[in-house]
Amino acid sequence: MGTAQGVTLISEGFEGAGNVFGAFTYTYAATYTMPNLLAPAGGLNYLRGGAGINGSVSTNILTLTGSPLSLVTGGITGTDIDSGTVSYNLYAQFSTYRQQNDHGTLSVQFLDAGSSPIGLSLNIGGAAIVSGLGMGISGYGDPDFTDMRDWAADSLAGIVPTGARFASVRILEVKSAGGTAIDGYMDNVNFSIDVVPEPGSVALVALGAGLFALLRRRR
């Protein structure tokens, strides 16, 4: 087991003039959504999906700058990954415009040393998250509507698969037929990896605790 600490591969709040997805942004002050009350806070700006075609379903793919990312970084080694001791955490916040239900999906695909995919991609966000968002009046803006949408976070955590060396990251933006803009909104995208205790040592600790409990019960 290496001595690596957690490595943040992506931490993007869409606050600057540019962002790692090369995406257009909206300002919260434009009140196309309800306020973002999640933690971490939304700040001033969030990602939007870009231009679509009025009257038809449109998609836009936003690829992370520098994708695929190397997973062998920050002291994390290929041996750590192949020992099943590297965890991942994928997180982002999602919203949409009124009841159009346009949506963004954040996808991570692990790749081996030869850039071949390993398993299925990890996906967060998408139609399911967006369709469940609450709605209400933003409280400012003119005109205001009664169906402005809340923000919700989605996340996935697990173990980086054996053999993985890279992660390909992209956002798929989809708009419904109505409207012109692709309004899958996203903020505070975070993707990190970390070395966890080896399964063997965890199992031994658990076994020890189990024996202790058993002995106590017999007394």
| Contact by Cβ (8 Å): 169, 12 | no
Least Å distance between CB 204 and Ca ion? 43
Least Å distance between CB 174 and Ca ion? 10
* Cα–Cα distance, 130 to 184 (Å, whole number): 8
Burial class of residue 155 (count of CB atoms within 10 Å of its CB; 0-12, 13-18, 19+): exposed
**Beta bridge partners of residue 27, listed in sequence order:** 45
Give the x-and-dash track for 165-184 against Ca ion (CB under 5 A): ----------x---x-x-x-
Q: Smaller CB distance to Ca ion: residue 33 or 100? A: 100
* Gyration radius from the chain CA atoms: 21
Q: Smaller CB distance to Ca ion: residue 102 or 173? A: 102
**β-strands 25-27, 166-175: how paired?**
unpaired
Of 10-18, 131-139, 149-157, 194-202, which segment contacts Ca ion by CB under 5 A? Answer: 10-18
Q: Smaller CB distance to Ca ion: residue 105 or 109? A: 105
**151 lies in the site for Ca ion, by CB under 5 A:** no
Give the x-and-dash track for 11-40 against Ca ion (CB under 5 A): --xx--------------------------
Least Å distance between CB 178 and Ca ion? 7
The DSSP secondary-structure symbol of 30 reads: G
Give the x-and-dash track for 81-120 against Ca ion (CB under 5 A): -------------------x-x------------------
Q: How far is CA 49 from CA 23, 83, 156, in A?
A: 7, 38, 22
Q: Smaller CB distance to Ca ion: residue 60 or 109? A: 60
How many CA atoms are closer than 13 Å to the CA of 171, on its beta-carbon side? 33
Least Å distance between CB 100 and Ca ion? 5
Peptide bond into 143 cis (omega under 30): yes
Angle, CA 75 vertex, CA 116 and CA 200 arms, to 5°: 80
The DSSP secondary-structure symbol of 115 reads: S
Q: Smaller CB distance to Ca ion: residue 36 or 77? A: 36
Give the binding site for Ca ion (CB under 5 A): 13-14, 42-43, 100, 102, 175, 179, 181, 183, 187
